[in-house]
Amino acid sequence: MQRRSFLKKAGIGAVAGTAAVASPVFAQTNPKISWKLTSSFTTGLPTLFGAAQLFCKMVGEATDGNFTIRPYPGGELVPALGVMDAVGNKTVECGQTASYYYYGKDPAFCFDTAVPFGLNTRQMYAWMYEGDGLKLTREMFAPRHIINFPFGNTGTQMGGWYRKEIKSTADLKGLKMRTAGFAGEVLSRLGVVPQQIAGGDIYPSLEKGTLDAVEFVGPVDDEKLGFQKVAKYYYYPGWWEGSAQLSLYVNDGAYNSLPKHYQALLQMASRYAGDQLLSNYDAHNPAALRRLIAGGAELRAFPREVMDASFKAANTVYAEFCAKNPLFKKVFDNYMAFRDNVVPWFRVAEGSFDNYMGFALSHRRKS
């Protein structure tokens, strides 16, 4: 990407009718600002943390080095799951995280990332940008002095790694499983004992037997974390995450002090870096899955009984939270109305196309 081209598109330092900007004018329109970004992800997860690095790089290059944001991996500056508090109290100006990590503060935060049997990636983008998603989530974060920006998506996630086969709901009883957000609440109704553990701590817990199962993201990250070495069975789909949106949190005071063109740049750079993150997963998950299977992982679909029981449990939990949490109900009603409207369209068009392509390619390999 040519820096001047990006500046012209962003409207930064451009002067109509001129081919270049005199350096004194450029300096005046791009004041020197230095920020810190803390992430919930480590350098051991290069796709996730890489989105934060790309975002910071773009902001710096687009302003000729005048607006710099330094990215810090999880645990280096603040704890991996401390991003919300760090941004809200302005320990740092911004952060990269997944909002469902803060389920314990308010389960409504999960709508900014993923909820069980919710929207897929395309549908989530549509709700955020064309529905009421961005408006509602910003209202939700405002009391915490945070302005949120969608920061990419992992796509539909896998159902995780298990030491034993899951043949029925009975096999879930007493299972100690690392999971995040709403999924833990729903799985607990099926007998699972949920554990919320940051990414860097998952493998040791699974290796030592502190955990019986773990779900994280999908083949690319799971392979890097080495889960296949300590758990054999790899299940799908991750019904608790039909998509999983990441977020850029920006302290509202820090954001409001920026020039308008810097504010616009944060929006554009975060969206671009987020799109790159999704493209990265879509491009590299297939090969990673093949390598995992070749290395001994046994791919399994959750039994229909487990899926049906999970769907029922999810709706029970939703009803309970709606009854006692007005904010949750407000976002839930809007989110689910959007889901119920958009899913039939996807089933008619993309769902039927994807199903046929899966059948056709499988048939071609056999013939």
Structure confidence by residue, pLDDT tens digits, 215-269: 989 999 999 989 999 999 999 999 999 999 999 999 999 999 999 999 999 999 9
| Per-residue pLDDT at 208 | 82
Q: What is the mean pLDDT of residues 55-62?
A: 98
Q: What whole-number distance in Å separates Cα of residue 102 and Cα of residue 39?
A: 14
Phi, psi of 90 (to 5 degrees): 65, 30
Q: Cα dihedral sign for 227, 228, 232, 235?
A: positive
* Token reading at 132: 């009421």
Of 172, 190, 151, 186, the residue nearest 235 (C-alpha): 172
Cα dist from 51 to 37, 57, 218, 272, 334, whole Å: 12, 10, 17, 9, 29
CATH architecture of 3-13+28-156+243-283: 3-Layer(aba) Sandwich (3.40)
Would you kindly state where each structural domain of the chain is located, as residue ranges? 3-13+28-156+243-283, 160-242+298-335
Q: What does the mean pLDDT of the chain come to?
A: 91
Q: What whole-number distance in Å separates Cα of residue 120 and Cα of residue 126?
A: 10
| Per-residue pLDDT at 198 | 64
| Per-residue pLDDT at 322 | 98
Q: What is the pLDDT of residues 75-111, one digit of tens each?
A: 999 999 999 999 999 999 999 999 999 999 999 999 9
Q: What whole-number distance in Å separates Cα of residue 84 and Cα of residue 98?
A: 10
Q: Is the pLDDT of residue 178 over 60?
A: yes
Q: Is the pLDDT of residue 278 over 90?
A: yes
Number of residues that make up the chain? 367
Written as one string, the DSSP assignment of 244-273 is -EEEEEEEHHHHHTS-HHHHHHHHHHHHHH
Strand-strand pairing, 67-72 and 33-39: parallel
Q: What whole-number distance in Å separates Cα of residue 363 and Cα of residue 15?
A: 59
Q: What is the pLDDT of residues 1-23, one digit of tens each?
A: 444 444 444 444 443 333 444 44
Residues contacting residue 108 through CB under 8 Å, at least 6 positions apart:
140, 325, 327, 328, 331, 332
Phi, psi of 136 (to 5 degrees): -70, -40
pLDDT band at 201 (very low <50, low <70, confident <90, very high): confident
Q: What is the mean pLDDT of residues 139-162?
A: 97
| Per-residue pLDDT at 18 | 37
**pLDDT greater at residue 302 or residue 210:** 302
Of 46, 99, 98, the residue nearest 225 (C-alpha): 46
Percent share of the chain, pLDDT over 90: 83
Q: What whole-number distance in Å separates Cα of residue 175 and Cα of residue 184?
A: 12
CATH domain 160-242+298-335 topology: D-Maltodextrin-Binding Protein; domain 2 (3.40.190)
**pTM for the full model?**
0.89
Residue 47 has a CB neighbour count (10 Å cut-off) of 21
pLDDT band at 28 (very low <50, low <70, confident <90, very high): low
| Domain 3-13+28-156+243-283 identical in fold to domain 160-242+298-335 | yes
Percent share of the chain, pLDDT over 70: 91
Q: What whole-number distance in Å separates Cα of residue 203 and Cα of residue 176?
A: 14
| Per-residue pLDDT at 23 | 43
* Helix residue spans in the chain (DSSP H): 3-10, 23-29, 46-62, 83-88, 121-129, 133-141, 182-188, 202-208, 219-225, 252-256, 260-294, 304-324, 326-346, 352-366
Contact yes or no for 188/252 (Cβ under 8 A):
no
Among 16-20, 24-28, 347-351, which stretch is predicted with the lowest mean pLDDT?
16-20
Q: What is the pLDDT of residues 303-345, one digit of tens each?
A: 999 999 999 999 999 999 999 999 999 999 999 999 999 999 9
Residue 258 has a CB neighbour count (10 Å cut-off) of 18
Q: What whole-number distance in Å separates Cα of residue 339 and Cα of residue 3?
A: 39
pLDDT band at 170 (very low <50, low <70, confident <90, very high): very high
pLDDT band at 367 (very low <50, low <70, confident <90, very high): low
| Per-residue pLDDT at 360 | 93
| Per-residue pLDDT at 216 | 87
